[in-house]
Amino acid sequence: MTNISEGLKYTKSHEWFDPTTGRIGISAFAVEHLGDVVEVDLPEVGTEISQGDELGTVESVKTASEVYSPVSGKVIAVNEALADSPELVNESPYNEGWLIAVEIENNEELDSLMNSASYQEHCSEEE
Amino acid sequence: MTQLVKGFLRKEPPIFAKSVPGHIGCSLRDVKEDFADIPAEFKNEEGPALVELSEVEVIRHYTRLSQWNHAIELGSYPLGSCTMKYNPKINEAMARLPGFTRVHPLQDESEMQGSLKLMYLLERSLCALSGFARVTLQPSAGANGEFTGLSVIRKAIADRGEGATRKVILIPDTAHGTNPASVVLNGFEPVGVSTGNAGCLTLEVIKPYLNENLAGIMVTNPNTLGIYEKNLKEIAAAVHEAGGYVYMDGANFNAIMGKVKPAQIGVDTMHFNLHKTFSTPHGGGGPGSGPVGVTKELAKYLPVPVVEKVENSFHLRYSSEDTIGKLHPYYGNFGVLVRAYTYIMELGEEGLFKATEMAVLNARYMRKGLENTLDLMFDSDTLHEVVFSDKTLKKETECTTMNVAKRMLDFGLHPPTVYFPLIVAGAFMIEPTETESRADLDYMIETVKKIVDECHTNPELVHNAPVNTGIGRLDETYAARKKILRYTPENTK
């Protein structure tokens, strides 16, 4: 069974959003399918992004994959550690491997995201 | 059946590490005097920092490196979507005829009639096979052909005064990966459409886009699942009705040559890959060539020059008010054109059609042979290639598509294309081509079966593969994370 972190909100395209910290990352399910991550391309602090827009790309030895923003808002932090250590995304997708943090604009968007239980179900359907 | 690779392989350092001061590979006279009148400030008395080796040292170095490689001359090369068929040696012999090699592209037309005639006849042959009115031979490979065809569409739309509004090009999820890039380079907007459970496009999914913003659709046919787009005729009619154009990515033309003329099912423009369908060298051994066919309506937009026949002689026509311009110096990769035309003449109409049938038969034989070993994600009939998934393998063992692919090298086989197309999880895409014998196909099938068996009984072995090749398992992750792009003695461990 895929490791799914409680308390986070998930998208169908396997991104997670942490409502308390504003952090965005990709799920363990996504990481398993990508394989070893070798490069992460992220927006700059201050960029305005909308829900569903491409916020960056995660490149693995197998493929390059777009990451879509779970919510709309302004980028307030970027995980600088990933530039030198992209493996953090593999090793710790929900903690040290976070991608960016945003200041969410509209809390109602959270309703469109899945909780961990429904995300678990979504993953088993995709397996 | 076990044919583990054993050979005469030697360890070989980079050529820079082999340099010995004073070794020379050719005898040049002292040229210093020839350059006596060059001002001193432009002179480099030290000369370039070239490797110093004798001729035999250089020959041995590269011959040894070549032995680490796989090649179609060594064994099967079922790299899906790439059509790695054997390239007959007569192609090389013809391309080396002095009449072709000793002509300069700027020579007078009267002195290169043979070359112009070859280009004219190759164009006519490609037109006959596809149903198009004209074909440009200039594009240097598939993606360059895509760019050309889309530029033609862009110009045609601009001429109608709709350049500002008709921006959308539809691209199904079974298209080649270069298609969206070609669309963007032409200032269009790519919009992805999904294929259904049958693995092919339906009119239903494109209906919402049939409006005044539609510039066209770009369809790979047969698509990257090896499935024929059976609704293309109906879709093309609908796209035309809405004012758009139909581009067909003809990289997989080898699956339908002689069976379908794309122009007759409503395709407006399409590229051919001479380095796939017409057996010219491929990849690093290229260059490629991607001629583009167009309908009569679009012919005036083709790049110049075009070869015209006037009475019994051949001429290059540069005058065309509507041309999209030039895409390639001179007339394209001419040596490749000679090889492709040789292939067409060698096989003849009947032979070309037979090649299509054999390519499909071989791929279906592979599909049948492996259908109980790996997963098939679509039931539809497939043509020249077949895409498996590692779904069950991954569930039951610790091995994946990548592990199986690496292990194939130990048996002297090039692996199939892996992890493409993206719509199949752990894709394992086999295109055997028509040049493989039944014994070759059986060997591939038995080998994959044996490896899948090993995944269950000895996963360690498969994880460490390849073990019998000159260079063992490379650490791809390390290489991608710590990029060392320039050789120095210090950074080579």
Encode pLDDT of B180-218 as tens digits.
Answer: 999 999 999 999 999 888 899 999 999 999 999 999 999
User: Is position A123 within any domain?
Assistant: no
Distance from CA of B99 to the nearest CA of A (A): 46
Phi-psi bin for B198: left (phi > 0), alpha (psi -120 to 50), beta? alpha
Q: Three-state SS for B227?
A: coil
Q: Do B481 and A33 touch (CB under 8 A)?
A: no
Say if residue B4's pLDDT is above 70.
no
Listed residue (B7, B42, B8, B70) closest to B282, CA to CA: B70
Say if residue B264's pLDDT is above 90.
yes
Q: Is A103 at the interface with chain B, CB within 8 A?
A: no
Are B238 and B252 in contact, with CB atoms under 8 Å apart?
no
Q: Which among A33, A61, A87 has the least Cβ separation from residue B476?
A: A61
What's the CA gap between B476 and A87, in Å, rounded? 13
Are B298 and B156 in contact, with CB atoms under 8 Å apart?
yes
pLDDT digits (tens, 9 = 90+) for B32-54: 788 888 898 888 877 788 899 99
Listed residue (B302, B308, B297) closest to B328, CA to CA: B302
Q: Do B480 and A39 touch (CB under 8 A)?
A: yes
Beta strands in B152-229 (DSSP E): 168-172, 189-193, 214-220
pLDDT digits (tens, 9 = 90+) for B305-323: 999 999 999 999 998 899 9
User: Is position A119 within any domain?
Assistant: no
Say if residue B491's pLDDT is above 80.
no
Q: Three-state SS for A71?
A: coil
What's the CA gap between B334 and B132, in Å, rounded? 21
Are B275 and B286 in contact, with CB atoms under 8 Å apart?
yes
Distance from CA of A92 to the nearest CA of B (A): 17
Share the mean pLDDT of chain A: 92
User: Which pair of structure tokens corresponds to residue B243?
Assistant: 């004012």
Walk me through the domains of chain B, giving residue ranges and CATH numbers.
15-67 (no CATH), 90-346 (3.40.640.10), 359-481 (3.90.1150.10)
Residue B2's pLDDT is: 57
CATH code of the domain covering residue A86: 2.40.50.100
What's the CA gap between A37 and A86, in Å, rounded? 6
User: Is position A127 within any domain?
Assistant: no
What is the count of structural domains for chain A? 1
For residue A30, which residues of chain B lie inside 8 Å, CB to CB? none
Share the mean pLDDT of chain B: 93
Say if residue B1's pLDDT is above 80.
no
What's the CA gap between B64 and B319, in Å, rounded? 51
User: Is position A86 within any domain?
Assistant: yes
Nearest 5°: phi and psi at B280?
A: -100, 160
Listed residue (B231, B223, B220, B245) closest to B295, CA to CA: B245
ipTM of the predicted structure? 0.73
Are B341 and B276 in contact, with CB atoms under 8 Å apart?
no
Phi-psi bin for B303: left (phi > 0), alpha (psi -120 to 50), beta? beta
Say if residue B340's pLDDT is above 80.
yes
Are B82 and B276 in contact, with CB atoms under 8 Å apart?
yes
Buried/exposed code over B93-124 (b: 16+ C-beta within 10 A; e: otherwise): ebbeeeebeebeeeeeeeebbebbebbbbbbe
What's the CA gap between B454 and B442, in Å, rounded? 18
Q: Which among A33, A38, A63 has the least Cβ separation from residue B477?
A: A38
Per-residue pLDDT band for A6 (boundaries 50, 70, 90) equals: confident
Q: Do B402 and A62 touch (CB under 8 A)?
A: yes
For residue B425, which residues of chain A lie inside 8 Å, CB to CB? 33
What's the CA gap between B238 and B430, in Å, rounded? 33
pLDDT digits (tens, 9 = 90+) for B51-109: 999 999 999 999 999 888 898 999 999 999 999 999 999 999 999 999 999 999 999 99
List, in sequence order, the alpha helices (H) in B371-437.
391-396, 401-408
Q: Which among A33, A61, A63 has the least Cβ separation from residue B477?
A: A61
State the residue range of the domain holding A39. Answer: 9-108
Q: Do A61 and B419 touch (CB under 8 A)?
A: no
pLDDT digits (tens, 9 = 90+) for B269-291: 999 999 999 999 986 667 899 99
User: Is position A95 within any domain?
Assistant: yes
Residue B285's pLDDT is: 61
The pTM (predicted TM-score) of the whole model is 0.87
What's the CA gap between B206 and B210, in Å, rounded? 7
